[in-house]
Amino acid sequence: MRTIFSLAAFVVATMASPITWAGPQTVTLDVPGMNCSTCPITVKKALTKLDGVEKVQTSLKEKKAVVTFNNDKVSADKLIAATTNAGFPSKVKTEK
């Protein structure tokens, strides 16, 4: 009987905690300040310098950066800070 109560307590405690996914994540950043052909290069360099960033694809036409990163090492907030510090404020693109 104790085992059942212990298991039930574990399940309740686990479900009450927010779920975070470790490992690779992909996020799309809106980077509206990219206006010339060198802007995506600057944004990509700023992002790839961060430990944990695995892949960056930038698009001048769409004014965005798609970033694959290790969630254990870097966060979306740090990605935004990196582009902002490089002169290109960004935000996480939300689906419409």
Predicted local confidence at residue 44, as pLDDT: 98
Identify the CATH number of the domain in which residue 33 sits: 3.30.70.100
Contacts of 61 (CB under 8 A, 6+ apart): none
Residue 1, pLDDT above cutoff 90: no
Kindly state whether residue 71 falls inside one of the protein's structural domains: yes
Kindly state whether residue 5 falls inside one of the protein's structural domains: no
What residue type is assigned to position 31 of the chain? V
Residue 70, pLDDT above cutoff 70: yes
Cβ contact 88:42 at 8 Å = yes
Kindly state whether residue 39 falls inside one of the protein's structural domains: yes
Supply the pTM of this predicted model.
Answer: 0.75
Kindly state whether residue 47 falls inside one of the protein's structural domains: yes
pLDDT digits 0-9 by tens, 71-84: 999 999 999 999 99
Q: Which domain holds residue 59?
A: 21-92
Q: Find the radius of gyration of the CA atoms of the chain.
A: 19
Cβ contact 57:26 at 8 Å = no
Kindly state whether residue 64 falls inside one of the protein's structural domains: yes
Name the band, by pLDDT with cuts 50, 70 and 90, for residue 90: very high
- Give me the number of domains the chain comprises: 1
SS3 69: strand
Q: Torsion over CA of 70, 88, 56 and 46, rounded to 10 degrees?
A: -70
